Amino acid sequence: MKQRSLSETRFDRRPKATKRQRFLSEMNAVIPWARLMVLVEPVQPKRSGKGGRKAFSAETMLRIHFMQQWFALSDPAMEEALHDVLVMRQFAGLDAGDDLIPDESSILRFRHRLEAHGVADQLLTEVNAVLVEQGLMVKAGTIVDATLIHAPSSTKNSSGQRDPEMHQTKKGNQWYFGCKAHIGTDADSGLTHSVVVTPANVNDVTQAHALLHGDEEQAFGDAGYQGVEKRQEHQGSTTQWHIAMRPGKRRTLPDTPLGKLIDQIEQAKARIRAKVEHPFRVIKRQFGYLKTRYRGLAKNRAQIVTLFALTNLFQARRRLMLAGEVCP
């Protein structure tokens, strides 16, 4: 009896779409591939070396790079996934029977090219340009916030030291080692327009100025940004800051009409600030980015900026699809 190949079995012909298939289909529909390829194609060589074989297309490598971010895969794990998972090969535009599969070295070299040419920032800028054109981002207000990203604290490496560009900081009664991602998000949509990455011990308020795009009339921040309007870099700015009251001071508000009014104002500011937590939830829970993967701030910053660009598309995907923004 002739044995059927794996592709002919019921395993690959099951009619039910998996969660991964639905996710990749939605993201494929809303990513502005043509516009992003203008940024990426110049950094991907046509051949793998002088006189070498033809290199993988820039679009294939970019699709693989994005899947690494979405599914928190290392270079070796991404190579294995391309061999094992049909829908991921299909998303990358590869056929296991006819095409070569990029190995981990090809994936690593492509990422290094993106880092060397600062493509991550360009991707975020281009994605946000699409969102602005679709009316999904306005420039009337900005919410600023920061989150800690853990870094491996192990010293079992060639240098015998922790990453020298990462630092530790104390939050509450807990010590953390790693970096800090500071973001500025649109106050209306909660989409990220600015990203700054620093060591974990850098105070949030010192980076507030770098998270503004300059056109906002209002800016919001939690109690960690107290005194921001008094800093030198904000002198002469017309942006009006709305900073949360410190929790201890808020707890001591008197039970009077004035005290209740102040508490209601704080609640209103908190509801606005809540939108800035959504991008953090997506990169940490949806995309599984809980710990830095590389040594040094530059490499990790490139990954974090890329994650926020993809997060913007993920958050806006329903509205983009309803608006008919189906990109090639």
The proportion of the chain whose per-residue pLDDT surpasses 70, expressed as a percent, equals 91
Instruction: For residue 43, count CB atoms less than 10 angstroms from its CB and return exposed for 0-12, middle for 13-18, buried for 19 or more.
Output: middle
pLDDT at 99: 73
Token match 């309007």: residue? 229
**Whether pLDDT at 277 is above 90:** yes
**What whole-number distance in Å separates Cα of residue 144 and Cα of residue 186?**
9
Contact 179, 101 (CB under 8 A): no
Q: How far is CA 300 from CA 31, 168, 199, in A?
A: 23, 16, 11
* Residue count of the chain: 328
Alpha-helix runs per DSSP H in 53-176? 58-71, 75-84, 86-92, 104-116, 119-133
pLDDT at 3: 46
pLDDT at 51: 54
pLDDT at 96: 66
**What whole-number distance in Å separates Cα of residue 273 and Cα of residue 287?**
22
Other Cβ atoms closer than 10 A to 74? 13
**Whether pLDDT at 327 is above 90:** no
**Whether pLDDT at 133 is above 50:** yes
Kindly state the average pLDDT of the residues 128-148: 92
Mean pLDDT comparison of 88-92, 98-102, 139-143, 228-232, highest-scoring range: 88-92
Give 292 or 234, the one with higher predicted confidence.
292
Q: pLDDT band for 113, please (50, 70, 90 cuts).
A: very high
* Cα-based angle 279, 280, 283 (whole degrees, multiple of 5): 85
pLDDT in tens, 1-60: 444 444 444 445 566 788 999 999 999 999 999 999 999 999 998 876 655 567 889 999
Q: Which residues pair with 54 in a beta bridge?
A: 47
Provide the token pair at 202.
């850098």
Q: What share of the chain is helix, strand, coil (3-state, %, to 5)?
A: 50, 15, 35
pLDDT in tens, 247-269: 888 889 999 999 999 999 989 99
